[in-house]
Amino acid sequence: MKGNEAIAEAALRAGCRFFAGYPITPQNEIPEYMSKKIHEVGGTFVQGESEIASVNMIYGAAATGTRAMTSSSSPGISLKAEGISYLAAAKLPSVIVSVMRGGPGLGSIQPAQQDYLQATKAMGNGGFKLIVLAPATIQESVDLTYKAFELADRDRNPVVVLTDGVTGSMMEPVVLPSMIQVDKADKKWAVSGAMGRDKNFIAGTAGIHPEQQEEDNIKSKELYERWQREDVRVEEFMTGDADIVIAAYGITARIAKSAIKQLREQGIKIGLIRPITVSPFPYENFKNLDPNKVKKVIVVEMSIPSQMIDDVRLGLEGNIPTETFGRSGGVVISDDEIVDYVKRSLDKGGDK
């Protein structure tokens, strides 16, 4: 399947029964697929008149206990930011797929990884956080999208699937999960009709007393701390004897693996730490690197300047030098470029 279509199919199989979105490259196959398929499982597709309209439709559907999803790319996600903040404030489970493109501004329709900070640090106002899942293969796109709905319902919080135009456009074989139906009756908080029970009230925080708002923020803080303890997902590749470690996520991590194999064949001991959850971030994996063995950590991204570098440095706590290497604006990084940079870095000390 094509990556974007695989995400849409995984969402349907995870019980997604409402999708609202608006066209923008390179994510258009997601709403296109949903428009064809969601009615077959009893769901509803709406092409909103804008990104803003679409995300607020998600708010309404999620409030009824329906598993709901929207998708967009870069500037489109920016337009959805207020609505995503309202989803978090109202504790409404939902899934947002962000298929990154070059930027800033309108930028390029080509693939990039320039929305890491947007996804992990500022998806909207108010300082809320989201679990952000970053697949590197089409199979992971399926598995993590399927998992995203489970996590959203578990925490009553939006979840982001963060991918890019390469992963969204390429095709690979996948194993699809089973189709499930979600019983909305299990969601006692939903505004799905109050016959025989007390009324439910779903709202953001407008007009709430400051002490109540603060209490909600404290509960959210406890949720985020639990994520850091229990929900970190990360892959380490050939790090056991490595004296150089690449940090990369998503498609760039996949390309980096090819470069690492080439460098290993040339006798260079190099490995990879790949965050699968870029939020919560695997700080401990970087903290556990031995500074007596690892000479440097190179953050490789399709972003200039690097955006993940700050999280990597937080994990390293200043114990190991860091460098960055990347392409940007829609230029897809290559394994040969990574190989060349690592070798130049060893010769010259790198571009710190």
Q: DSSP 3-state assignment of 232?
A: coil
**pLDDT bucket at 350, cuts 50 / 70 / 90:** very low
Residues 6+ apart with CB under 8 A from 338: 246, 255, 256, 259, 300, 325
Given this model, what pLDDT does residue 271 score?
98
Tell me the mean pLDDT in the region 321-349: 95
Fold of 235-348: Rossmann fold (3.40.50)
* pLDDT per position as a tens digit, 72-103: 999 999 999 999 999 999 999 999 999 999 99
| Percent above pLDDT 90 for the chain | 89
The model's pLDDT over 104-149, given as tens digits with 9 standing for 90+, comes to 999 999 999 999 999 999 999 999 999 999 999 999 999 999 999 9
DSSP secondary structure letters along 26-49: T-THHHHHHHHHGGGGT-EEEE-S
Distance in angstroms (rounded) separating the CA atoms of residues 173 and 2: 9
Question: Domain extents for the chain?
Answer: 3-230, 235-348
Nearest residue to 97 via CA among 32, 37, 164: 164
Per-residue pLDDT, 352: 39
Give the model's pLDDT for residue 243: 96
Give the tens place of pLDDT for each residue, 11-55. 999 999 999 999 999 999 999 999 999 999 999 999 999 999 999
If pLDDT is split at 50, 70 and 90, which confidence band does 351 have? Answer: very low
Domain 3-230 sits in CATH at 3.40.50.970
Give the model's confidence band at 204: pLDDT under 50 very low, under 70 low, under 90 confident, else very high. low
